[in-house]
Every structure is written in structure tokens, then in C-alpha cells.
Amino acid sequence: MSHFKERIALFKNISFSWFLISCITSTFGNGITYIAMSWLVLNATGSISHMAILLTCFWGPNAIVSPFFGVLVDRFNRKWCVFISNFVRALILLIFWLLYSKHMGNAYIYLLSATLSIGLALYMPASMALTREIVSEKDLLNANAAIDIAYELGNISGMGLAGLIIALTSIKTTFLINVICYLIATVTILFVKHKDGIIKAVRSSVLRAIIDDFNAGIQYLIVRKKLLTIYSLQAIILAEFMTAPVLLAPFAKHALHASVGQFGEIEAALSIGVVLGGIFSPYFADKFSLEKVLLIELLITPICFYLFKNVKFIFSADILYFLIGLTYSAWPLLITRAQELTALEFQGRVQSVFNFLSGLFILIIYGLIYFESNIISLRGMYWIQIAISIIAILIFWRYCSISED
């Protein structure tokens, strides 16, 4: 069976198809809401430092609770963890929609960002572990690539339509749309059938059990250098991916003089790149090796960011952000290699440890942006992205030099 036929055959797995629908609908709403929140903050302040605060409010709670949620994911049914995450985020957005008014200050937007962050902290490790319970190990790369494409298709349509939806309706409507999307994602996950997860009985002391499980996850990592390195690379790539938005919104508004629609257009160009990369990267990884494809994508990234920081036109920004999106298709390749090296019963804890570490790294970068935004120009800020890209290359070189655990 050819590579692409194998990928199409994945959709014969009905549970996997339902899971993809859940992914697309949740990220469609996310895309709209991200544009809405970013533009609300920028219109109120016009400051890159306030964008840093917005995303700090998102990643701060995520980093704090990730280790705790990782233990829960390894102790309880992963499907229900995803269900709870989607439902709680729908409820949070519904409450915000009911209370929303045009006179709300930025503090309310920051609070919304922080509460949604907690829901994501449960969703990330649970969904990654659930993927391994839906598909076989040999289909993991194709499954992860398809899931990444699903996320980006949701983002493309959500961010691409955000400007039009806001222009035709209102900012408030975008939050209601996200509520509906999360509810659809919540319902569709119920149709997913999966293998029995690693569900442990809760012992007499829940706190003691959580601490013991977390320590076991740390010990599991310490003795596996190759696993430790590939998750470190994954954390750096995530940090790079999550740092870019804090720079793009003010860069688009003040350096490129973009409208909200054009801002969404640039973000959508990134997502299109990720989608096309997700389609072709697994094919090239299968043909030439995963490591060779990763190396090429990692080497291209800092070059693209260097060119992007000097761009002056929207069209040029679209092209370069599209190319950056292509390189971010390294994400499903990294996820797959990390999953292959991780025992299923440790998946939630190991993933959450690095969500925590990447969250801390992201917060440090946001802090630099906040304190240096009045000193360094918007274009100069992109040296941070270039530096992160180079760090990723060095970590990958270290990964390749380690023998199998």
C-alpha cells in the first residue's frame, strides 16, 4: 500500500474520524477568539507589552497545573479527560459571553485567557495519550500529521474568517461561536472508541499518589537521555510557536499597518503552511528518514524569521509566514518520535513535564518582550525567534549524537 493510501485508510477508523472532527471544531473557535482577544487588547493599548501580558496569562496557569494534570491523565480515562477539558472551556466562554460588554477592561480578557489556559493544560497530554489508544503504533506518524492538519484547518478558517465575522456582527458574537464549537467538540468525542487506558485505582492518599506518580515520571525521564532530548526539542519548538503570536499582532498593526482582516490573513498563511507541511512531511520522512526532514526544517526556520523581520509588505509577510508554517510541520514528527520512545503508562506525565518546562521558557521570553519592548524595535524583537530557532538546531544535534536508550 502506498504512503498516501495508508493515510487515507486511517479514516476507516471511525473513532479517529470523530476525534479529528472534535479537533477541527474546537480550533475553529479558538482561531476566531484569539484574533478577537488580540485585537481588543491592541485597540485598547496599542502596546506589545500588553500582548505579552495576555499570553503570559495564558501560559502561566498552564505551566503551573501541567504536572498535576499529567498525573491525572495517566491515572484516569483519557477520553473523559478530553471531554471534561472541552466542556469546561465551553462553560467558561459561555459565562464570559453572558457578562461581556464593550466597556470591559483588559483585566477581563486576561482572566478569560488564564481560565482557558487551565483547560488546555488538561487537553494537551490527554489528547496525545488518547491518540495512541485510537490508532496502532505503526500509524502514529500519519495520525499525528492528520491531527496537526485538523488543528491548522480549524485555525485557518477561524482566523481567516475572524475579521469578516467581527465586521458583520460583533466581538461578542465571536465568543458565542467558540462556545458552540467547544460543545460540538465535546459531543463528538463521545463517539470515540479506544483501547483500555492506564486507569489506576485511587489509593487512600490522593496527594501522596500524585506525588509518587510524578516522581516516577521524573525518574523515568532521567535515565533515558534520548527521550529527554527529544522532549526538550519538542518544548523549544512549542515555545517558538507560542512566542511568535505575541510579536505578530503588534508587528502587523504597527510595522505593516495591517487591518484585523490582514492580521488574520497572515496567521492563516502560517496555518496553510503547517497543513501542507503536515501532508508532505510524513511522506518525505518515510522516504528519506524522519531525522533528515527534521534537520532541513530546523535549518530553514531561522532564515525565514530573519527575512520576516525585515519585511515591509503584507504579501511578502504572507509568503514568509507560509514558509515558517511549512517548517512547523516538524511538530508531528517530533511528537511521533517522542511517543515511540515513551511507554504508554508514562505518556501523560512525561508530556506534562515538558509542557511545564516549555511554559516556563515561554514566560521568560514574554518577560523579556515586556521589559525590553520600549528599548528594542518590533523588528529587533524577531532576533528572539532567531535565537530560539538556533537553540532548537543545537538540541537536535545533541539528540542525533546520543545512542538509543
- DSSP annotation of 192: -
Rounded to the nearest 10 degrees, the angle between the axes of helix 14-45 and helix 140-168 is 40
Residue 189 and residue 126: Cα distance in Å, rounded?
Answer: 12
Signed CA dihedral, 109, 113, 114, 116: sign only: positive
* Domain edges within the chain: 12-401
Q: What is the pLDDT of residues 273-318, one digit of tens each?
A: 887 887 888 888 888 888 888 899 899 999 999 999 888 888 888 9
Which residues, 6+ apart, have CB-to-CB distance to 15 below 8 Å? 134, 191, 192, 193, 194
Task: State the amino acid at position 35 in one-letter form.
Answer: I
Q: Which residue has the higher pLDDT, 219 or 320?
A: 320
C-alpha cell at 310: 525585515
Signed CA dihedral, 89, 93, 96, 102: sign only: positive
Q: What is the pLDDT of residues 220-247, one digit of tens each?
A: 777 788 888 888 888 888 778 777 767 7
> Burial code of 244-268, b = ≥16 C-beta within 10 A, e = fewer?
bbbbbbbbbbebbebebebbbbbbb
C-alpha cell at 321: 509566514
pLDDT at 405: 57
**Chain position carrying cell 489508544:** 133
Whether residue 250 contacts residue 48, with contact meaning beta carbons closer than 8 Å, is answered with yes
C-alpha cell at 108: 477581563
Whether residue 347 contacts residue 129, with contact meaning beta carbons closer than 8 Å, is answered with yes
What percent of the chain lies above the pLDDT cut of 70? Answer: 88
C-alpha cell at 222: 532521567
C-alpha cell at 102: 464593550
Mean pLDDT in residue range 28-32:
80
Residue 199 and residue 201: Cα distance in Å, rounded?
Answer: 7
Which CA distances in Å does 73 have to 40, 224, 277, 355, 359?
34, 21, 30, 14, 18
Which residues, 6+ apart, have CB-to-CB distance to 116 below 8 Å? 58, 89, 92, 93
pLDDT at 203: 44
DSSP 193-244: -------PPP-S-HHHHHHHHHHHHHHHHHT-HHHHHHHHHHHHHHHHHHHH
pLDDT at 2: 63
Rounded to the nearest 10 degrees, the angle between the axes of helix 330-340 and helix 260-288 is 50
Q: What is the pLDDT of residues 142-201, one digit of tens each?
A: 888 888 778 777 776 776 677 677 777 777 888 888 899 999 999 999 998 877 655 444
Question: What does residue 267 show for φ and ψ, rounded to 5 degrees?
Answer: -60, -40
Residue 355 and residue 222: Cα distance in Å, rounded?
Answer: 16
Domain 12-401: CATH superfamily is MFS general substrate transporter like domains (1.20.1250.20)
Residue 141 and residue 314: Cα distance in Å, rounded?
Answer: 34
DSSP 317-365: HHHHHHHHHHHTTHHHHHHHHHHHTS-GGGHHHHHHHHHHHHHHHHHHH
pLDDT above 80: residue 46? no
Instruction: Kindly report the length of the chain.
Output: 405
pLDDT at 45: 62
First to last CA, the chain: 32
Residue 321 and residue 360: Cα distance in Å, rounded?
Answer: 25
Q: Which residue has the higher pLDDT, 393 or 337?
A: 393
Q: Which of 181, 177, 182 is nearest to 36 (CA)?
A: 177
